[in-house]
Structure 1
Amino acid sequence: MYTKGDFHIHSTESDGDLKPGEVVLLAKERRVDIIALTDHNTISGNKQAIKVGKIHGVKVIPGIELSTRFKGQKVHILGYFTDDKYESTEFKLILNNLRARRFKACQIYFKGKLSFKSEAGKIITSAGIEFLHHYNAKVVLAHPTLLNKNIFKEIINLNFDGIEAKYYRNKENETEYFMSIAKKKNIIYTAGSDFHSLNKLDMKHGTLGQIYLESDEISDFIKILNLNGN
């Protein structure tokens, strides 16, 4: 059984300061036994993190943080992959197209079966959720505390599997509020430090393991990932 989990972490593959393997070693040092690597719009660090995690006894869930837009607002969504479909050439191709803003190319590739509607150079949130679901990811709304309250009330009605209820920058009583929303909607909640750097001057993000899920909460999370505690 896992005892401490941080599910929102960045590495040098996006805008973090530590390499994926170094992130895992830091987790080990801080007795965080299950993590997710969620670099911005890339899955390139997952392979190394998983490999190092196996050596050092840290479970690594492959993940991503996808940049989307909702009514002009920046919305980040976290995808947690339940199998290796995300490692396919197809997924990487589509991801590259999204980064390069080639939305029409994505649309043509899928012959209209998936929507790649965009706004301000990013895929819209509902399309981002649909895209990640297509590759067997569970999708969680990242740091809801950073969203406008009215936008949050609308966006939480999209097809999310969960919400990041525990977050470094939550204001007073927000953690309980977001957890209650998850319960009401019968979705899971997660915890993430949004770790980027060991620099103590980085006030925008938490430090690894500072925000976490405990045993019972982790069990609920890994249940929807079909990991069976492994």
Structure 2
Amino acid sequence: MSFDLHTHSTASDGTEPPAHVVAEAARAGLRGIALTDHDSTAGWAEALAAAEEHGIGLIPGMEITSKTAAASVHMLSYLHDPEHPGLLELNAATRGGRVERAKHIAERLAEDFPISWELVLEQVEDGASIGRPHIADALVAAGVVRERSEAFDKYIHRSSKYYVGQDSPHPTEVVRRVREAGGVPVIAHAMAGKRGNTLDVDELEELVEAGMLGVEIWHRDNTEEGKQILLDLARRHDLIITGSSDYHGVSGKPNTLGENTTDPEHVARLLEAASGTDAYNIHP
């Protein structure tokens, strides 16, 4: 009976509605999950209702995009106040940056393929935070590729001529805002080298000094060497250690709910550290 603390729904770039993600987690025998859509809390209410229906625990969260000079950094925020002004301001800016970036990628792709911005928008649920997966879905809809993963592999990976970076806040600023909102900041897949540049140990130490409380170690994209670096960091600073699937739906990514999980001891520490909002039915 474990906890999967990193999942996505159609409130951002997942392929299943929040209620369906929760129902699938219950069917998988998980004790609880965190819903962590990109730069959005729009799925919280639906996920909570589903958690009540299925008798499964729910930790409301969010994945926030940030960037250093050399690396893209995703920070998971758990149990923050969704109405905190500072975090709302940051989210609004980040979501605006996501839209502009997606437009630029779509424009570049449109020079070579039969897609348009309108086709991309057709792939996005109302109120959802837009991202590259929606562009991938547009390429599928246009018949350019068969599935999302093929679109990423061929056309919208970081080395592609179609790729466009995103303007994002520095991760230390994200950590500060999350803490101010009563949330628990945990860095996501920090040693996923195949995604691009990763932070070095000094930069990770800087995040701890800024108030970061945890590291997501058990994630399929972290390298074995990277996991050890993160474990050493966690031991030095007594950080919360999490594991998760980064689930995006059956047709979103190959990641399976519960493929990596978080120990109840660390879930309990996460709950104790939070003051922004409550978890539902979580009793580690």
TM range (shorter): 0.7 to 0.9
- Contact (CA 8 Å) 1:189, 1:221: kept in 2 or not? no
Alignment of 1:70-85 (within 5 A): 70-82=68-80, 85=81
> What CA distance in whole angstroms lies between the structure 2 residues aligned with 1:145 and 1:94?
25
> What CA distance in whole angstroms lies between the structure 2 residues aligned with 1:89 and 1:47?
19
Equivalent residue, structure 1, for 2:283: 229
> What CA distance in whole angstroms lies between the structure 1 residues aligned with 2:96 and 2:253?
29
> What CA distance in whole angstroms lies between the structure 2 residues aligned with 1:184 and 1:90?
30
Structure of higher CA gyration radius? 2
Alignment of 1:158-169 (within 5 A): 158=207, 159=210, 160-169=212-221
Q: Does 1:216 align with 2:265?
A: yes
Greater RCO, 1 or 2 (C-alpha within 8 Å, sep 6+): 2
Using the size of structure 2 for normalisation, the TM-score is 0.65
Q: Which structure features the higher share of strand residues? A: 1
Alignment of 1:27-176 (within 5 A): 27-82=25-80, 85-87=81-83, 91-92=87-88, 94-101=90-97, 121-146=167-192, 151-157=199-205, 158=207, 159=210, 160-172=212-224, 174-176=226-228
Matched AA of 2:5: F
Q: In structure 1, the residue corresponding to 2:217 is in which secondary structure?
A: strand
- Contact (CA 8 Å) 1:72, 1:120: kept in 2 or not? no
Residue by residue, what CA displacement relative to the aligned partner does 1:107-163 show, whole Å, maximum 9, x if unpaired?
xxxxxxxxxxxx951111111111111211110011012257872312211121100
> What CA distance in whole angstroms lies between the structure 1 residues aligned with 2:88 and 2:171?
19
Aligned residues: 206
Task: Decide which of 196, 202, 209 is 2:253's aligned counterpart.
Answer: 202
Equivalent residue, structure 1, for 2:13: 15
Using the size of structure 1 for normalisation, the TM-score is 0.79
Matched AA of 1:86: P
Q: In structure 2, the residue corresponding to 1:145 is in which secondary structure?
A: coil
Unaligned runs of 5+ in 1: 102-118
Cα RMSD of the aligned pairs, angstroms, is 2.6
Unaligned runs of 5+ in 2: 98-164
Identity in percent: 24
- Contact (CA 8 Å) 1:190, 1:221: kept in 2 or not? no
Residue by residue, what CA displacement relative to the aligned partner does 1:204-229 show, whole Å, maximum 9, x if unpaired?
xx211111023334333333237683
Which has the higher mean CA deviation after the structures are superposed, 140-149 or 159-168?
140-149
> What CA distance in whole angstroms lies between the structure 2 residues aligned with 1:58 and 1:8?
15
> What CA distance in whole angstroms lies between the structure 2 residues aligned with 1:133 and 1:52?
28
- Contact (CA 8 Å) 2:86, 2:177: kept in 1 or not? no
